[in-house]
Amino acid sequence: LFASVDMAPRDPILGLNEQFQADPNPNKVNLGVGVYTDENGKLPLLACVKEAENVLAEIPKPRGYLPIDGIAAYDKAVQSLVFGADSEVLRAGRVVTVQALGGTGGLKVGADFLKRLNPSARVLISDPSWENHRALFESAGFDVGNYPYYDAAARGVAFEAMLGALNQAQAGTVIVLHACCHNPTGYDLTPAQWGQVIAVVQARGLVPFLDMAYQGFGEGIAEDGAVIQQFVASGLDFFVSTSFSKSFSLYGERVGALSVVCESKEEAARVLSQLKRVIRTNYSNPPTHGAQVVTTVLSTPALRAQWEQELANMRERIRSMRAALVDRLKAHGVATDLRFITRQKGMFSYSGLTPQQMERLRAEYGIYGVSTGRICVAALNTHNIDYVAKAMAAIMR
Cβ atoms 174, 142 nearer than 8 A: yes
How many chain residues are in contact with ligand LMR, going by CB under 6 A? Answer: 7
Shortest Å distance, C-beta 227 to ligand LMR: 19
211 given a catalytic annotation:
yes
Of 113 and 130, which CB lies nearer to ligand LMR in the complex structure? 130
Q: Which is nearest to 352 in space by CA: 310, 384, 395, 383? A: 395
Of 13 and 303, which CB lies nearer to ligand LMR in the complex structure? 13
Q: State yes or no: residue 129 binds ligand LMR (CB under 6 A).
A: no
Q: How many helices and strands (H and E) does the chain possess?
A: 15, 13
Of 261 and 379, which CB lies nearer to ligand LMR in the complex structure? 379
Q: Which residues from 202-241 bind ligand LMR, rule CB under 6 A?
A: 213
Of 87 and 183, which CB lies nearer to ligand LMR in the complex structure? 183
Q: Which of 29, 30, 31, 33 binds ligand LMR (CB under 6 A)?
A: 33
Q: State yes or no: residue 351 binds ligand LMR (CB under 6 A).
A: no
Shortest Å distance, C-beta 16 to ligand LMR: 9
Q: Which of 69, 75, 112, 211 is catalytic?
A: 211
Q: Which of 188, 246, 307, 345 is catalytic?
A: 246
Does the CA dihedral 274-197-139-211 come out positive or negative? Answer: negative
The SS3 assignment for 98 reads strand
Shortest Å distance, C-beta 107 to ligand LMR: 11
307 given a catalytic annotation:
no
Q: Which residues contact 175 (CB under 8 A, 6 or more apart)?
A: 123, 124, 147, 166, 169, 201, 206, 207, 208, 209
Q: Which residues from 131-160 bind ligand LMR, rule CB under 6 A?
A: 132
Q: Which is nearest to 257 in space by CA: 108, 101, 111? A: 101
Does the CA dihedral 126-129-130-131 come out positive or negative? Answer: positive
Shortest Å distance, C-beta 186 to ligand LMR: 12
Q: State yes or no: residue 34 binds ligand LMR (CB under 6 A).
A: yes
The Cα–Cα gap between 17 and 324 comes to 25
Of 195 and 287, which CB lies nearer to ligand LMR in the complex structure? 287
Cβ atoms 377, 347 nearer than 8 A: yes
The CA distances from residue 167 to 35, 136, 208, 256, in Å, are 35, 24, 14, 31
Q: Which residues from 307-326 bind ligand LMR, rule CB under 6 A?
A: none
Shortest-Cβ-distance residue relative to ligand LMR: 34
Shortest Å distance, C-beta 38 to ligand LMR: 18
Q: Which is nearest to 178 in space by CA: 164, 194, 195? A: 194
Q: State yes or no: residue 130 binds ligand LMR (CB under 6 A).
A: yes
Q: DSSP secondary structure string, 155-208?
A: TEE-HHHHHHHHHHSPTT-EEEEESSS-TTT-----HHHHHHHHHHHHHHT-EE
Shortest Å distance, C-beta 26 to ligand LMR: 24
Q: Which is nearest to 29 in space by CA: 392, 286, 299? A: 392
Shortest Å distance, C-beta 308 to ligand LMR: 22
Cβ atoms 343, 5 nearer than 8 A: no
Between the two ends of the chain, the Cα-to-Cα distance in Å is: 51
The Cα–Cα gap between 16 and 19 comes to 5
Q: State yes or no: residue 13 binds ligand LMR (CB under 6 A).
A: yes
Q: Which of 108, 130, 188, 345 is catalytic?
A: 130
Of 12 and 148, which CB lies nearer to ligand LMR in the complex structure? 12
Q: Which of 99, 183, 344, 349 binds ligand LMR (CB under 6 A)?
A: 183
Identify the DSSP state of 219.
Answer: S
Of 183 and 306, which CB lies nearer to ligand LMR in the complex structure? 183
76 given a catalytic annotation:
no
Residues catalogued as catalytic: 130, 211, 246
Which residues of the shown chain bind ligand LMR in the complex (CB under 6 A)?
Answer: 13, 33-34, 130, 132, 183, 213
